[in-house]
Amino acid sequence: MTRIVVMGPSGSGKSTVGRALADRLAVRFIDADDLHPQANVEKMAAGVPLDDTDRMPWLALVGTALNEADDIVIACSALKRAYRDAIRSQAPDAFFAELSVSRAVLQARVSSRGDHFMPTSLVDSQLQTWEPLEHDEAGVRVDESADVDQATAIIRDALETRTV
């Protein structure tokens, strides 16, 4: 079974890398943004950061979607360890691919998107919330210097050699 969460702040490339990875693995792809309740979308669109009360029901939906599929890639911010733990409570074998991207690149990417509810003003709040993967979490970190093909190769290699 392959249950992968491509994670990072808004603008890190989660959806792009996640779709490419799912295509290469011939598995289903879900963007966790599509699982947000409308109230969350409206809050973010208004420039108000989500709090844990907003996020936890959404993260439960992400974990359930992972657990209900044998092979799947989900793009989800999963910014804090507690959020990843919430996902793992539903899908214990989830593997996390962390996309590490600088603030400047995130700001540029988010500001260039016209069709997304996440405003540029929330990038800093996401970076303040961000907790990188810890050594005991099943996953891999992918640096912003990797293009989409390199990122998918790094993730696939890490999946094949995973020890956690």
Share of the chain above pLDDT 90, in %: 55
Residue 27, pLDDT score: 97
Is the model's pLDDT at 164 over the cut of 60?
no
Residue 116, pLDDT score: 47
Residue 111, pLDDT score: 62
pLDDT class of 113 with cuts at 50, 70, 90: low
Average pLDDT over residues 16-35: 95
Is the model's pLDDT at 42 over the cut of 60?
yes
Residue partners of 67: CB distance under 8 A and separation at least 6: 3, 90, 91
Kindly calculate the radius of gyration of the chain based on its CA atoms and give it in whole angstroms.
15
The single residue listed with the structure tokens 């989409």 is 148
Phi and psi at residue 25, to the nearest 5°: -90, -5
Count Cα neighbours of 65 within 13 Å in the Cβ-side half-sphere: 22
pLDDT class of 112 with cuts at 50, 70, 90: low
Share of the chain above pLDDT 70, in %: 86
More confident residue, 109 or 59: 59
Report the alpha-carbon distance of residue 27 to residue 2 in Å, rounded. 8
Average pLDDT over residues 71-95: 95
Q: In what order do the strands lie in the sheet with 71-75?
A: 28-31, 71-75, 2-7, 95-100, 139-143
The pLDDT mean for the chain works out to 86
Domain 2-160 - what CATH class?
alpha beta
More confident residue, 46 or 74: 74
The single residue listed with the structure tokens 């792009």 is 16
**Top-ranked range on mean pLDDT: pick from 18-22, 44-48, 130-134, 159-163:** 18-22
Cα first-last separation, the chain: 15
Residue 102, pLDDT score: 72
Residue 101, pLDDT score: 76
